[in-house]
Amino acid sequence: MDFLTSLRVSASGLSANRKRLAAISSNIANAQTTRTAEGGPYRKKEVVFGSEPARQSFSEILDGQMEEDVQEVHATEVISSNKPPILKYEPGHPDANEDGYVAYPDINMMEEMANMVAASRSYEANITALNTSKSMANKALEIGR
């Protein structure tokens, strides 16, 4: 794998994890949101990752048979959860139904915090890989001195 390919792979991981962290922070911020513009309670957002070969130009595609195992990760889509809302009995709440129940999003804060730590660690790992690639390139340039 060449220098630029390693940078592109790390950059794709950084971008994907940034989107994942944005979805997680949105879930945490809206954990108590009972009314949205779409109607009903907030729906938990989840990021779907996908991969594709790390090739950018046509020549890289032709030359890529040697490095066909190198993949870039991408956040292909952000989906809304289909989990039913949690009903809590709060008859005085403005969003309560006729029986006095309020629909809250089914968001587990412990699960969201664990996902945030995992995404943050993955982001840090991509930064470490990026810095290692830069360091190796600098050391290679110092050989010529």
**Residue listed under structure tokens 């990760």:** 73
pLDDT at 13: 92
What does the block give as tokens for 120?
A: 């943050």
First-to-final CA distance of the chain: 24
Residues of the chain predicted below pLDDT 70: 1, 54-69
Q: What is the pLDDT of residues 41-73, one digit of tens each?
A: 999 999 999 887 765 565 655 565 555 567 788
pLDDT at 8: 87
Using an 8 Å Cβ cutoff, are 111 and 51 in contact? Answer: no
pLDDT at 73: 85
